[in-house]
Chains A and B, each alone.
Chain A
Amino acid sequence: MRNNGNSMRNIYRTGFIALAVPAIAFVLAYLSGSMLVLDYIHVLIGAIWTGVDVFLGLLFANVIKTINLETRKNIGVRMIPMTLFFIPSASIITPLAGYVLAVKEGIFSFTSTLFIAIIIVGVILVSIGFLTIVPYSYKVAREASRKEIDLEKISRNMRIVSIGSMFQLIFQVIIISLMAYIVVYL
């Protein structure tokens, strides 16, 4: 695979679509004023985000661990739209849609133990993304744009992205338990 300016531009272009689609979907859902559509967007983007973490943290970790460095680099570069663009977008839009939904339903309260727990887990979840997945994906992108590519460096950064996804998945499992509590008991 060529990693010249053109192919990186294509990757960033695809990444921009991955970033914009959840944001546009949320804006449209918000403007529609429909609780059903807002709930749909919140659940759908949240589900996709969870699936991305299952894939990156659980299944793909094994692929990345054992495949040769050149292929790993090629995979890492093509993962950029998902890790550098979609994950940040989903990690902002999903909680935002959830917050709007909770406020509109009149159940949101800063003093409620349930919502304090949701906010804490949510902050940890988003922080993991912005402290591991996003910066290390950016490092993969930056390294791949260089003339002399350090394959080991890309490999190390991908490993951190994968570990970050695994930790994010753990907190997603926790936050979904709190979401299920809202659906069942509130």
Chain B
Amino acid sequence: MKHNISLIYSCTDYITVVTTETVNRNMPFSIRDSLWTGLPMILIPPAIMVAIIISGNFYFLEYFHVISGSAWTGMDLVMGIFFAYIMKGLGDAEKAEVSKRLTPMMLFFMPAISTTTVTAGVYLALSLGISFTSPYFIVVAVIAIILTVQGLLIFLPNEARVYLELIRGGKDIRKIVRLTMINIRLSLVQLVLQITIILFMAHFATGFAL
């Protein structure tokens, strides 16, 4: 009886493994597929922003800044808190599978959304006539620079390294997981900075002193 039970468990495990393998083989990493989903994500936000700047419409500039900023802050919260929590409950192979699917989108989406939010913010500050020597503006500028540098010098190269590893077949699961987890932790740091910067945005929106 004992043998039968262990045999059933072994079969169940085998079926799970086979299912996993089948699904993984059915969904190999492809540069074409990743570009298909990734390119619109990197091209659409800057294209919209350029169109708005050319139109010179203040309302659309404000709207775009709030939307892109919301997406960026929210994404950082999801990545830094909720997604970190999700990943913590998964095994390394599962983490790598999630990373394989998420990295191409994050690689394209995050740089696009972060740089366009900051750029739209600068144009908005210029339109509002906010003094560049105002202490509020200086604090916001410093935080924005830290956010951008972090994004472009740590987040982006890590995502690119994961992407390159996936192109090579994604065999180094440890590397994929390590780099993905670094970025998830970095998202938490970005979130703290964004929560701070939004406080200053609330000052600009309401006009009340901090």
Contacts and interface: CB of A to CB of B under 8 A. Distances in A.
Interface of A: 1, 14, 18, 34-37, 39-40, 43-44, 46-55, 59-60, 62-63, 66-71, 74-75, 77-79, 81-82, 86, 172-173, 176-177, 179-181, 183-185
Interface stretch (B3-11, B147-155, B174-182, B194-202): B194-202
22 contacts: A1-B89, A1-B90, A36-B208, A37-B202, A39-B205, A43-B198, A47-B69, A47-B70, A47-B198, A50-B70, A51-B72, A51-B73, A51-B74, A51-B76, A55-B79, A62-B37, A63-B102, A67-B97, A68-B97, A71-B90, A77-B89, A180-B59
Contacts of B16: 70
Q: Which label, helix, strand, loop or mixed, suits the secondary structure of the A interface?
A: helix
B85 A59 contact: no
Nearest to B209: A36
Nearest to B94: A71
A55 B75 contact: yes
Contacts of B106: 59
Chain B contact patch, size range? 35 or more
Nearest to A56: B78
Contacts, number: 136
A52 B74 contact: yes
Contact of B19 (A35, A46, A69, A74): A69
Nearest to B101: A63
Nearest to A70: B16
Contact of B102 (A14, A53, A59, A172): A59
A147 B70 CA distance: 40
B66 A180 contact: yes
B74 A49 contact: yes
